[in-house]
Chain A
């Protein structure tokens, strides 16, 4: 129908023309809309404490200890159950968070502006691998590391970004997809480009050489550091679509470890949810599917924008991390063209003869073809505090798309658009 095609054309134009740019850093309590001292933001669609999975509960406990709202895990749990703490998706606050996605008042965040539309997105700094909050760990070493990130890493990066000036993340991502990153689970090139871009400004900051060395060593040791830049870049790109009436393009996909949720441009802030699936992939030695938590994290905002699993063809090395063969990676990308409306004008994939990555998931195409968006992802242990146990491939439940299509048609009928 003409009006649907016109709405989708507008949505795709917004995606193609977006200019996500790193413009600074701040403390969540100062810059994230709606943030307050008793708010814990989390990944995925809305969820109550009672329904949270192990890693999300663990991250909430860690967040409350980090904020000084609780002294022990027991105190934190009691506080979380008391009703005194508000839980709300990062997505409701222009934010995204990897894995558990827990973001609290004092945490530093990157500030990304979509220069085309003037909207902002926020994301914490990536903690690295091992025992980390985003996988639900909350012991003293986790809290100490978060405090180092707040007191040393953040002031240096914030000042360095001020010295450097805004960094064009669209350009950086476009470069890294030509350097073997798909920019969800392989961020080695993007992280390297970020360090290269910011290096001279870090050296110019008013900080000790000792701290600067620690910052460089940390950035160099963490191949995923730039994930927390590509995610808010995708968020800033996709958020404006939520105001386009009648568009059938998906503008949010995310998981809270219990449920998967999607939002569709023409349906605004309505969530369509279904139980999150267990990830098929490569498990670290000593772990198996029995240890896995269901799918968790906001990081599939990258797939929503058309990178990550959608751009796997450009990242053949990633199959050693998520399983499969380089041909599988090519097949995943090729298949995603079936459920998307355009090819990216910016993110060009060399192994696909520089074809643009598949862009703009249309719920009509997902239902018609029965092809679900492919997501590559880390796997969290189902118990809090153990951490990552593998990585692999996962899909959103088809029910999310079926319910969305039913609601979409119903809304159009109510408005008399289908007469």
Chain B
């Protein structure tokens, strides 16, 4: 299915990350659910590196 075709259909959206995107869609009555996703360790590079050491990375 092309992108053009997709946008001609009714959208059902799964939003990940920034909640404001979900709020906007909800405000326009677009069926959407929000996934509370955050980068590992909140993006703290030092902590990501330490966790990586424990995963053999």
B54 contacts partner chain A, Cβ-Cβ < 8 Å: yes
- On chain B, the residues within 8 Å of A4 by CB distance are 54
Q: Contact check: which of A1, A370, A402 meets B54 at CB < 8 Å?
A: A1
Interface residues of B in 31-57 (CB under 8 A from A): 38, 40-42, 44, 46-47, 50-51, 53-56
> Could you tell me the distance between the alpha carbons of A406 and B41 in the complex, rounded to whole angstroms?
13
B20 shortest CB reach to chain A, Å: 19
Task: Give the tally of cross-chain contacts (CB within 8 A).
Answer: 33
Write out, one digit per residue, whether chain A residues 380-419 have a CB within 8 A of any chain B CB (1) or not (0).
0000000000000000000000100110010011000010
Q: How long is the Cα–Cα vector from A1 to B51 in the complex, in angstroms?
A: 11
- Which residues does chain A contribute within 8 Å of B40, judged by CB atoms? 368
> Considering the chains assembled together, what is the distance between the CA atoms of A394 and B5 in angstroms?
50
Residue of A1, A4, A368, A369 with highest tally of chain B CB at under 10 A = A368
A402-B47, A405-B47 given; A368·B53 CB < 8 A:
no
Most chain A CB within 10 A, of B44, B46, B50, B56, is at B50
Q: How many residues of A contact B (CB 8 A)?
A: 14
The A interface is mostly helix, strand or loop, or mixed, namely: helix
| A413 / chain B contacts, CB cutoff of 8 Å | 53
A341 within 8 A of B: no
With contact pairs A368-B41, A370-B38 given, residues A406 and B50 touching in the complex (Cβ less than 8 Å): yes
B38 CB to nearest chain A CB (Å): 6
Q: Given that A402-B47, A405-B50, A409-B50 are contacting pairs, would A370 and B42 also be in contact in the complex, using a CB cutoff of 8 Å?
A: yes
- Which A residues fall within an 8 A CB radius of B? 1, 4, 364, 367-370, 402, 405-406, 409, 412-413, 418
Question: What are 6 of the A-B contact pairs (CB < 8 Å)?
Answer: A364-B51, A369-B38, A405-B47, A405-B50, A409-B53, A409-B54
11 further interface pairs, Cβ-Cβ under 8 Å (given A367-B41, A402-B47): A1-B54, A1-B55, A1-B56, A4-B54, A370-B42, A406-B46, A406-B50, A412-B53, A412-B54, A413-B53, A418-B54
